[in-house]
Structure formats: C-alpha cells, structure tokens
C-alpha cells in the first residue's frame, strides 16, 4: 500500500533534503495532525533507497505508544523496521530501527553504521537522556520533528540543530481543510487565586494543583460543562494527576456516562481495548493524564475538555491538537476549564518559532477578545468557573461554499412528512451548527438559480408545516405521558421551545439566504 503525499508535505520533504546537503541537523515544525510521521517516514525511505542505501536509520521516541504507530506508518512506505523496546525481540539486521529512548540508553550494543537519526516529538531532545544519546552518534545526520519547538525554561535548540524548517500556520491548515474548524469556549468573568509555581519545572506545583482542581466546585464545573455542551460528542478530558482523574471519573460514572481512563500504569492490552472501544463509540468520554498529548490518533474526537492548568504553551497546543483532526461537516469543540486561553492566547496567532525558542512580545500575544479584559498573572489560575457565562473566546468556522450550502439545505429539507420522526433523532446542537453555517455571508449565493430557490422555499414551508404537525403530536403525547407518569413529565430530546426556535430560524435563514 502506497502513501499519497500532500503538496505541503512534499514541499517540506524536499526542503529538508536540500538543507541536509548543506548542514548536519534539521528540526521540522508542523502542527499536530498535519502528518509529521508521514513526512519523516518519506524522508527515511529516501535515505535508505537513494541517499545512503548501505547505511542504517535510527528513529528514537520517548514513549512506547509512539513506537507501534511509527512501525505501522513505515509499513505503508514499504519499510519493515526493527523495534528496540522492552518486551520486543531485537532484530539487528533490519536497516531501520525504531527505539524507545530508555531501552536504547540501557542497551550496550547500540545500532552502528547509522546515517540518519530521527527524533520524534523533538521538543524533548534537550533533556539529559537525549543529549547523552545523540552525542554517541556524532557522524550521523540528525532530524527532529515537533509541533512545538519550545521548552518551559526557554532553553535554545541552537546547540542541537543547525536549521529550522517551519510549516504553514494552523489557520492556513484550517482554511485549506487539512485541520478542523473549531470553537473554543471559555469564561466571561473569572476570579483568580495564587497557586505555587514549581521553579524547577516552571509549571504549577502538581500536588497543590491537583488538590485545587479536585475540589467539589471544580469537579462540578467540569461535569456541568460536559453536560451542557458535549454530552452527545466524543470527548477527551485532560486531568492533573491520578487523584484528580479518578474523582472526575467517579462523578461521570455516577451520572451514567459511559467513560473510562488511561494512565501510564494501564497495561498495553487494556489500553488497546479501551482505545478501540472509544473509537467504536462504546465509550463516550476518555480521561487521561498527558497520555494523549502526543501520538494518539483518533480523527473523530469531537471535544477536548482542558481541566489541567499549565504554564506550558507546548502542552496547551498538543492538547488542543487532539480535536483539530479534519472533520467534514463538523467542528472541534474546546472547553477550557483551566484558564489556558488567557494564559497562552489563541492557537491561530502567528507563532514566531525559532531555534532560540519562541520569540514573542506582549504586542503579539493576541489574547482572546472578550467583553471583560481578563488578565492571568504569572502565578494565577481560575478560582470559580461560571458556565452560565461561558462564551466563545476564540473560534474559526469556515465560510461555506455554494455547493456546501446546497448540501446543508438538502439535508435539512430531506425531513419530509413521512420522516418527521427523524427530527427528534437529529440533535438540536447539529441544527444550530447548520444554521450558524448558513448565516455566514455567502458572496456567491446568487449562483443558486431562481428555480432552485423556489424548490428550496417550497421544501422549507413543507418542513415548517411538518414541524407544526410534529409539535402538536408531541404536545399530545407529552400530555398523555404526563398523565401516565402521575404528573411527572417524560424526558425528550427536543423541547417545544427548541422546535419553535428551529421553525423561526429556518424561516429567517431561507428568507435571508435565498431572497
């Protein structure tokens, strides 16, 4: 099976190979979800097939989860690699080896005759373990890949890499439909409180942070946010530590939410089963502690809930990256319970990535626009979250094309009289999303012919009439259910107010867009 490279991936590959003709070490920056593994796999294939076919390539990762993913990706490029990791049989004759950092450090007989070292998630390369290992391969070329070339302590990458190749911006990838459009929900008003910062880690002290975020108010806030905005969406929640995660897990389970968790102690076979169940929608919510910040590939994640305050811009971007995988006719939802957008700003801002670290002054932090000017001091995080005042502080929804407009209208208008029961199955949040898309100014909507407009108007009136019939039937059934349940109203997916709102907004949309 072959891999079709996208144009921007081919451009980065060719630039990298060209730069390697002039220097020995290159760092590639690409946003999460844009194909870093595919890019370096293509470079590895070129290295062993064309550039230095008589030498080896060594790929180093700091997490065992990444080893299997890279192995499978290389298979798509026709490369059968060896794996250097605890619990796996070492195959020294393989030309390409994927190694777990810790296993490789302990290994006495390391791979020799290596022409290229590849380091995945290379923002970790400044750690002592990586530096020691890289120094043993002085004669090899070095390629690093990362979404975020930055360290919390501001340490420069210049001692390791000679050149940085930057990709397009996150906004470019969204506009060109390689990453998902998104909504970032955060707070209109906040109260802040001092939390100790660990000077060694340059981040909030974990035990104090865990205690703070595990309070009853904070646990209730996270659940309320999920229940209001994401209960019908596939959701990942990032937690502070095991204590915090288990308290949240218990709250969700007690409310009959299908959920589970993965941490560093979860066995490989259990982890694979949980992830498979999550991908198959048997689990709606998956809790973790930094497990899914790097290397977790599940394109249909719909929501991330940020419940872990952090000073790390890299961690912030990696967490949000989980929900930016491209989703046709959908968007990624970011629910910020940790004050992160006020700590770090919008992910669409122009990051001036550099080997010196992130070069950014106060003038281009681009804090989100809100009705209240919120400031998060160096040692401050949220004290009280008020989700009745949750607002869109940063969103990027693309303007639909004429063809997309027609498809959206056709989908809504397919709900004929004989199919009216599907209105109840069609989630109200999806209807709102569709209407929001239709409300976007469509410059070329005159390309919809008068005949098409007439058909759509007729269908719209039929749909609104059907909603009238449905509403009458619903109210009659509701009255019967009320009597059967001794005065307790049966719970339904759409309320009468919601149906009235749909009718009104449908009328407004059709009149606005198609006149």
Distance CA 32, CA 151 (A): 17
Distance CA 47, CA 21 (A): 12
Domains annotated for the chain, with CATH where assigned, are: 7-167 (3.40.50.300), 173-396 (3.40.50.300), 402-513 (no CATH)
Of the chain, the percentage scoring pLDDT greater than 90 comes to 42
Highest mean pLDDT among 18-32, 295-309, 352-366: 18-32
Residue 271: pLDDT above 70?
Answer: yes
367 confidence band (pLDDT: 50, 70, 90): very low
Distance CA 466, CA 464 (A): 5
Query: Residue-wise over 1-30: b if at least 16 C-beta within 10 A, else e?
Result: eeeeeeebbeebbeebbebbeeeebbbbbb
CA distances from 9 to 40, 206, 325, 424 (A): 10, 38, 16, 43
Distance CA 492, CA 472 (A): 15
Q: What local confidence, expressed as pLDDT, does residue 426 receive?
A: 46
Place of tokens 């939390």: 195
Residue 512: pLDDT above 60?
Answer: no
Q: What is the mean pLDDT of residues 458-482?
A: 62
Distance CA 232, CA 300 (A): 13
Residue 75: pLDDT above 80?
Answer: yes
Let me know if 441 is exposed, middle or buried by CB neighbors in 10 A (0-12, 13-18, 19+): exposed
User: Strand pairing partners for 305?
Assistant: 237, 335
Q: What local confidence, expressed as pLDDT, does residue 198 receive?
A: 84
**pLDDT tens-digit map of 428-460:** 445 555 555 555 444 445 555 666 666 666 666
**Could you tell me where the beta strands, DSSP code E, fall in 228-296?**
235-238, 259-262, 285-288
Higher pLDDT, 46 or 487: 46
Q: What local confidence, expressed as pLDDT, does residue 265 receive?
A: 84
Distance CA 202, CA 465 (A): 61
DSSP string, 37-67: HHHHHHHHHHIIIII-TTSEEEEEESSHHHH
Distance CA 104, CA 48 (A): 21
Q: What local confidence, expressed as pLDDT, does residue 85 receive?
A: 93
Let me know if 425 is exposed, middle or buried by CB neighbors in 10 A (0-12, 13-18, 19+): exposed
Residue 514: pLDDT above 60?
Answer: no
SS3 of residue 194 by DSSP: strand
Q: What is the mean pLDDT of residues 384-410?
A: 57
Q: Which has the minimum average pLDDT: 352-361, 472-481, 484-493?
A: 484-493
Distance CA 43, CA 19 (A): 13
Closest CA to 191 of 24, 50, 386, 45: 386
- Tokens describing residue 101: 């950092």
CA distances from 466 to 189, 196, 349 (A): 42, 59, 45
Q: What local confidence, expressed as pLDDT, does residue 151 receive?
A: 84
Distance CA 460, CA 412 (A): 9
H/E segment holding residue 203: strand 203-204
User: Strand pairing partners for 97?
Assistant: 58, 82
Q: What local confidence, expressed as pLDDT, does residue 214 receive?
A: 92
Distance CA 84, CA 465 (A): 66
Q: Which residues touch 335 (CB under 8 Å, ≥6 apart)? A: 185, 225, 226, 229, 230, 303, 304, 305, 306
What angle separates helix 450-484 from helix 496-513, to the nearest 10 degrees? 180
485 confidence band (pLDDT: 50, 70, 90): low
Mean of the per-residue pLDDT values of the chain: 78
Q: What local confidence, expressed as pLDDT, does residue 357 receive?
A: 72
Q: Which residues touch 368 (CB under 8 Å, ≥6 apart)? A: 184, 186, 341, 342, 345, 346, 393, 394
Higher pLDDT, 83 or 460: 83
SS3 of residue 260 by DSSP: strand
**pLDDT tens-digit map of 253-269:** 999 999 999 887 888 78
27 confidence band (pLDDT: 50, 70, 90): very high
Q: What local confidence, expressed as pLDDT, does residue 425 receive?
A: 46
- Tokens describing residue 233: 């969406």
58, 52 in Cβ contact below 8 A?
no
Q: What local confidence, expressed as pLDDT, does residue 143 receive?
A: 97
Highest mean pLDDT among 154-158, 416-420, 422-426: 154-158
**pLDDT tens-digit map of 196-240:** 888 888 888 999 899 989 999 889 889 988 988 898 899 999 999
Residue 37: pLDDT above 90?
Answer: yes
Q: 114-120 and 390-396: which strand pairing?
A: unpaired
């Amino acid at each position: 099976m072959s891999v079709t490279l996208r144009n921007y991936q081919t451009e980065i590959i060719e630039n990298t190979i060209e730069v390697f003709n002039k220097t020995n070490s290159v760092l590639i920056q690409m946003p999460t979800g844009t194909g870093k593994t595919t890019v370096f796999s293509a470079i590895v294939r070129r290295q062993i097939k064309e550039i230095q076919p008589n030498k080896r390539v060594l790929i180093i990762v700091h997490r065992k989860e990444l080893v299997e993913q890279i192995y499978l990706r290389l298979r798509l490029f026709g490369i059968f690699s060896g794996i250097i990791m605890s619990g796996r049989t070492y195959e020294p004759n393989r030309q390409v080896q994927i190694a777990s950092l810790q296993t490789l450090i302990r290994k006495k007989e390391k791979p020799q005759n290596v022409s290229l070292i590849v380091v995945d998630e290379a923002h970790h390369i400044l750690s002592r373990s990586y530096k020691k290992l890289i120094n043993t391969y002085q004669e090899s070329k070095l390629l690093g890949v990362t979404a975020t070339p930055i360290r919390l302590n501001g340490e420069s990458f210049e001692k390791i890499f000679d050149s940085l190749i930057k990709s397009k911006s996150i906004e470019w990838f969204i506009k060109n439909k390689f990453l998902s459009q998104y909504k970032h929900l955060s707070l209109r008003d906040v109260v802040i409180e001092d939390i100790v910062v660990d000077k060694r880690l340059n981040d909030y002290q974990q035990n104090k942070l865990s205690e703070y975020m595990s309070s009853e108010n904070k646990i209730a806030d996270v659940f309320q946010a999920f229940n209001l905005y994401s209960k019908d969406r596939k959701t990942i929640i990032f937690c502070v530590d095991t204590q915090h995660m288990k308290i949240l897990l218990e709250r969700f389970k007690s409310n009959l939410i299908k959920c589970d968790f993965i941490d560093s102690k979860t066995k490989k076979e259990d982890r694979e089963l949980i992830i498979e169940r999550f991908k198959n929608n048997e689990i709606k919510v998956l809790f973790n502690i930094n497990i899914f910040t790097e290397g977790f590939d599940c394109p249909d994640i719909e929501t991330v809930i940020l419940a872990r305050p952090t000073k790390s811009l890299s961690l912030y971007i990696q967490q949000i990256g989980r929900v930016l995988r491209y989703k046709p006719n959908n968007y990624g939802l970011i629910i910020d319970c940790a004050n992160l957008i006020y700590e770090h700003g919008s992910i669409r801002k122009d990051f001036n990535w550099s080997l010196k670290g992130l070069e950014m002054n106060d003038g281009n932090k681009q804090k989100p626009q809100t009705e209240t000017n919120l400031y998060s001091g160096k040692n401050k995080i949220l004290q009280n979250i008020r989700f009745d005042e949750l607002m869109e502080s940063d969103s990027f929804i693309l303007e639909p094309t004429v063809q997309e407009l027609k498809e959206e209208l056709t989908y809504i208008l397919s709900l004929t009289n004989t199919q009216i029961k599907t209105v109840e199955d069609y989630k109200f949040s999806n209807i709102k999303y569709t209407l929001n898309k239709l409300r976007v100014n469509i410059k070329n909507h005159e390309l919809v012919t008068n005949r098409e407009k007439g058909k759509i108007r007729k269908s719209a009136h039929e749909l609104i009439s059907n909603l009238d019939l449905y509403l009458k039937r619903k109210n009659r059934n509701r009255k019967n259910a009320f009597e059967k349940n001794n005065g307790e109203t049966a719970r339904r997916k759409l309320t009468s107010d919601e149906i009235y709102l749909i009718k009104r907004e449908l009328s407004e949309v059709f009149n606005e867009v198609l006149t």
